[in-house]
Amino acid sequence: MTSPCQSSYPQHPSMTDTLYHSPFLKACRGEPTPYTPIWLMRQAGRYMEEYRQVRAKVSLLELCKTPDLAAEVTITAVERLGVDAAIIFSDILVLVEPMGVTLEFQKQRGPVLHTPLRSASDIRKLREVEVEEALGFVFEAIRQARAGLQPHIPLIGFAGAPFTIASYLVEGGASRNFEHTKTLMYQDPESWHALLSLISRTLVAYLNGQVKAGAQALQLFDSWVGCLSPSDYREFVLPHTRFVLERIIPGTPVIHFGTGTAALLELMREAGGSVIGVDYRVELDQAWKRLGAVGIQGNLDPCVLLADRKVIEARAKRVLDQAGGRPGHIFNLGHGILPTTPVDNVLALVDFVHTYQPRSA
């Protein structure tokens, strides 16, 4: 363990040599890989028959809270697809319940938080989260998934970023305009920062707990941060995301992901993360030019997987050529797989990414 690269990323107890040298973790560290590693956001999801069978028996939240089932769907997806990393099955909102907020997933509307936070006093009522006690089911799912995965497949833990979690807490669900979130932010910055500080403290313990349970890497999902201007991001978000990322157990690669972030990429990098996840709204070569020496994950439009194999290969080729075989590219979609995606199309994509030799950048 004397190479400079290894000393800057000391190995965690759960890390075996096989895992350490897997293409996914090499790419996270910016090291060359024999082929471009690929995994897909929501790879264990509704588009897959095996997943639907499990979901026929339990709700989404029950699945998240049942470690053996969460581990099962995590492992099944990797084995079915032949991707290079697993991501623990969970939802970014599992941490709002222990904060004292009721969470429900409705068929049409998605997540619904019945008591959205709209005032300073709403925010003051939130509880600090004891992650071992409240979110131990996630750690247990990670332990079981790690035990059940093939030894060369790294396991990714994840959480929602402070802004995205806050937007759900304040809006009470998904949103188009984020008007309650922004009104709180603009009108009462003190309460806003108190809310993001609370979430951030929770995230540090939650993400590190996932690493201790056996995750080899982490992804921080700031899925909705693209609704903000760069100056709002700098003032209201960056300090909190940086607080979280600076406190992750050293040596753990973190993928920092958002959508609609064409104007935010440099600021996201400033906030932290060893790999920046980008969506399809930016060209990968442009993103890399702007970001410099950092890993990049992305960025095929999930809608491409609804087209035929010829289109999928042509479009995957474009992404790979834009990455140009640079060390540090992790192939992924620009956002989660759509529920209507045919599994065969995903298999075709994985196969193509594993065999195509990109043009040099």
3/231 with CB nearer a second copy: 231
12: buried, middle or exposed (CB in 10 Å: 19+, 13-18, 0-12)?
A: middle
Query: Among residues 9, 47, 51, 168, which one is catalytic?
Result: 168
Please indicate whether residue 46 is annotated as part of the active site. yes
Interaction of residue 268 with a second copy, rule CB under 8 A: no
Please indicate whether residue 109 is annotated as part of the active site. no
Segment interacting with a second copy, rule: CB under 8 A, options 116-124, 133-141, 178-186, 242-250: 178-186
Q: Which of 307, 327, 342, 359 binds a second copy (CB under 8 A)?
A: 307
Helix (H) or strand (E) holding 205: helix 189-213
Please indicate whether residue 351 is annotated as part of the active site. no
Please indicate whether residue 91 is annotated as part of the active site. yes
Q: Which of 114, 183, 289, 344 binds a second copy (CB under 8 A)?
A: 183
Neighbour count for residue 6 (Cβ, 10 Å): 13
Q: Would you list the DSSP string of 206-266?
A: HHHHHHHHT-SEEEEEETTGGGS-HHHHHHHTHHHHHHHHHTSPTT--EEEEESS-TTTHH
231/360 with CB nearer a second copy: 231
Please indicate whether residue 280 is annotated as part of the active site. no
Residues 291 and 288: their CA atoms lie apart, in Å, by: 5
Binding track, positions 324-343, relative to a second copy; x by CB under 8 A: -----------x--x-x---
What's at 65, amino acid-wise? K
Query: Among residues 20, 35, 46, 321, which one is catalytic?
Result: 46
Q: Which of 106, 187, 355, 360 binds a second copy (CB under 8 A)?
A: 187
Structure tokens at 216: 């080899």
Residues 291 and 276 sit within 8 Å (Cβ to Cβ): yes
Question: Considering just the CA atoms, what is the radius of gyration of the chain in Å?
Answer: 19
CB of 349 to a second copy, least distance (A): 14
Residues 321 and 329 sit within 8 Å (Cβ to Cβ): no
Enumerate binding residues for a second copy (CB under 8 A).
177-179, 182-183, 186-187, 226-232, 260, 262-263, 280-283, 286, 301-304, 306-308, 311, 315, 318, 335, 338, 340
| Active site (catalytic) residues | 42, 46, 55, 91, 168
